[in-house]
Copies of this chain bind each other. A is one copy, B any other.
Amino acid sequence: MKRPDALAALAALAQDNRLDIFRLLVEAGRAGMPAGAVADALDLAPNTLTFHFDRLRDAGLVTVRRDGRSMIYAARYEAMNALIAYLTENCCRGNPEQCLPVKRESAPRKVRKSQRAQIAEPVS
Report A's interface with B, CB cutoff 8 A. Answer: 3, 6-7, 10-11, 13-16, 19, 22-23, 26-27, 30, 57, 63-66, 71, 75, 77-78, 80-81, 83-84, 87-88, 90-93, 96, 98-102, 120, 122-124
Contact = CB atoms under 8 A, between A and B. Distances in A.
A50 to B, nearest CB: 13
Tell me how many chains of this kind the complex includes.
Answer: 2
Contact of A93 (B26, B88, B102, B122): B26
B80 A26 contact: no
Given A26-B93, A78-B101, 15 more contacts: A6-B19, A10-B13, A11-B15, A26-B90, A26-B92, A64-B122, A71-B123, A77-B92, A77-B98, A78-B99, A80-B87, A80-B91, A80-B92, A84-B87, A84-B96
CB-based closest 6 A-B pairs: A81-B99, A10-B14, A77-B99, A11-B14, A65-B122, A14-B14
Given A14-B10, A63-B122, A84-B84, A30 B102 contact: yes
Nearest to A75: B91
Nearest to A92: B80
A11 B15 CA distance: 7
